[in-house]
């Protein structure tokens, strides 16, 4: 079923021009994707978006289905529409896509896909998070440790995409219209040129090799080993922390709130370590995390922290309305950076919960 009936607000952020970013997007993907202007004020989000693609080392055959199912699960009209469009361009009809969804829903798919999807959904929902038993099911089916890690990481990558697209209410109408069009299949004959590479690209790795892994959440990125997306995650975390829009303290607070909400002790401990580096120590952090408020928070943080808690589990329109209210007190760039950081913290929180029980 398409998600067109789900309420979706107009974009929360303004369109802007960032020629360097447009050139970068063109270099990576062969064209400038239509959502680039919405992310122009906060480049690290777009870089992550471009590099967190569907290129896998171990589970390439499962990637499209995971993207489709998790996006649908998260009611992300933007990602789900894009995912359907990709499948249409790849030659599937609407009926075939619906059949796949129906089969997944009714567990009529082969065990490898069925259990991988179940695991991916569990990572994405984290309610409850995957346990040893769910990982053993995958091992019994022959998934290697690297494949399980990649599965968890890719589900979390989809969480990242779903969150920033939904929280910003990126425009969905064109993609949805194209995906439903009877002519969508003809698009595969279009001379895409380098644009094709964005659909099936190998990630452009710019991060340090795993052995030199340092910086926020280095234990996690080290644990993910040499997976292509692990290196993109390292690069993204470093890019976020280098962003001059929000201070490092606010960013670490966002990670701490989301880790607390997900009941993820190790991620909260890492966020606390980062907060300590910024001069925020126990018991002040305890007080902030207990109530999402404190006289020690600045006016901006006092509005941001209650908002980011809403990004853990949500319905699209209500959370978009909360984001709209936040937009009234933040600049365009600050809202982008807040949403991107919340999306990244949700990704990190979920993948680390899965890895913890491996």
CB-CB neighbours of 162 under 10 Å: 27
Of the residues 136, 190, 291, 296, which one makes contact with another protein according to CB under 8 A:
291
CB-CB neighbours of 26 under 10 Å: 15
Q: Does 93 bind another protein (CB under 8 A)?
A: no
Contact 18, 47 (CB under 8 A): no
Calculate the CA 109 to chain-centre distance: 26
Q: Could you give phi then psi for residue 129, rounded to 5 degrees?
A: -70, 160
Of 98-106, 183-191, 247-255, 342-350, the window that binds another protein (rule: CB under 8 A) is 98-106
Rank residues 5 and 193 by Cβ distance to another protein and give the closer one.
5
Residues 183-202 that bind another protein (CB under 8 A): none
Which region holds residue 142: left if phi is over 0, alpha if psi is between -120 and 50, else beta?
Answer: left
Q: Which residue has the tokens 């995409």?
A: 161
CA distances from 320 to 99, 163, 317 (A): 31, 11, 5
Q: Does 263 bind another protein (CB under 8 A)?
A: yes
Of the residues 15, 26, 112, 125, which one makes contact with another protein according to CB under 8 A:
125
Spatial distance between the Cα atoms of 54 and 92, rounded to a whole number of angstroms: 18
Of 25-33, 62-70, 120-128, 193-201, the window that binds another protein (rule: CB under 8 A) is 120-128
Nearest distance in Å: CB 239, another protein: 29
Q: Does 131 bind another protein (CB under 8 A)?
A: no
Nearest distance in Å: CB 131, another protein: 12
Q: What is the CA radius of gyration of the chain?
A: 19
Rank residues 222 and 309 by Cβ distance to another protein and give the closer one.
309
Spatial distance between the Cα atoms of 215 and 234, rounded to a whole number of angstroms: 8
Spatial distance between the Cα atoms of 212 and 279, rounded to a whole number of angstroms: 26
Q: Does 204 bind another protein (CB under 8 A)?
A: no
The three-state secondary structure class of 319 is helix
Rank residues 242 and 290 by Cβ distance to another protein and give the closer one.
290
Rank residues 72 and 234 by Cβ distance to another protein and give the closer one.
72
Of 163-171, 197-205, 220-228, 261-269, the window that binds another protein (rule: CB under 8 A) is 261-269
Rank residues 207 and 288 by Cβ distance to another protein and give the closer one.
288
Of the residues 242, 290, 325, 329, which one makes contact with another protein according to CB under 8 A:
290
Q: Which residue has the tokens 């279009």?
A: 190
Of the residues 7, 61, 105, 296, which one makes contact with another protein according to CB under 8 A:
105
The three-state secondary structure class of 129 is coil
Contact 158, 79 (CB under 8 A): yes
Of the residues 204, 222, 309, 322, which one makes contact with another protein according to CB under 8 A:
309
Of 44-52, 77-85, 256-264, 270-278, the window that binds another protein (rule: CB under 8 A) is 256-264
Residues near another protein (CB under 8 A) are 1, 5, 73, 98, 102, 105-107, 125, 127-128, 260-263, 289-293, 309, 312-313
């Amino acid at each position: 079923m398409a998600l067109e009936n789900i309420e979706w607000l107009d974009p929360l952020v303004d369109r802007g021009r960032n020629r360097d970013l447009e050139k970068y997007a063109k270099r990576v993907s062969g064209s400038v994707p239509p959502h680039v202007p919405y992310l122009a004020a906060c480049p690290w989000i777009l870089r992550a978006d471009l590099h967190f693609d569907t290129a896998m080392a171990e589970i390439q055959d499962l990637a499209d289905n995971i993207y489709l199912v998790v996006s649908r699960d998260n009611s992300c009209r933007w990602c789900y529409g894009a995912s359907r469009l990709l499948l249409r361009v790849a030659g599937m009809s609407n009926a075939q896509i619906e059949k796949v969804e129906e089969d997944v829903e009714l567990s009529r798919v082969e065990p490898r896909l069925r259990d991988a999807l179940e695991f991916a959904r569990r990572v994405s929902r984290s309610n409850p998070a995957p346990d040893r038993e769910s990982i053993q099911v995958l091992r019994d089916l022959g998934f290697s440790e690297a494949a399980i890690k990649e599965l968890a990481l890719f589900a979390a990558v989809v969480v990242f995409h779903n969150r920033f697209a939904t929280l910003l209410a990126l425009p969905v109408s064109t993609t949805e219209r194209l995906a439903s069009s009877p002519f969508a299949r003809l698009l595969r004959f279009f001379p895409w040129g380098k644009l094709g590479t964005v659909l099936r690209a190998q990630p452009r790795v710019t991060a340090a090799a795993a052995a030199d892994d340092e910086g926020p959440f280095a234990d996690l990125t080290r644990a993910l080993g040499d997976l292509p997306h692990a290196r993109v995650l390292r690069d993204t975390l470093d890019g976020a922390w280098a962003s001059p829009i929000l201070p490092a303290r606010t960013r670490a607070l966002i990670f701490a709130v989301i880790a607390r909400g997900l009941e993820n002790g190790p991620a909260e401990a890492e966020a606390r370590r980062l907060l300590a580096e910024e001069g925020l120590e126990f018991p002040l952090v305890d007080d902030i995390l207990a109530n999402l408020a404190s006289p020690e928070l600045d006016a901006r943080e006092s509005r941001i922290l209650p908002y980011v808690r809403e990004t853990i589990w949500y319905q699209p329109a209500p959370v978009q309305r909360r984001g709209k209210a936040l937009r009234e007190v933040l600049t365009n760039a600050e809202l982008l950076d807040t949403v991107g950081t919340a999306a990244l913290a949700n990704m990190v929180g979920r993948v680390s919960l899965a890895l913890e029980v491996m």
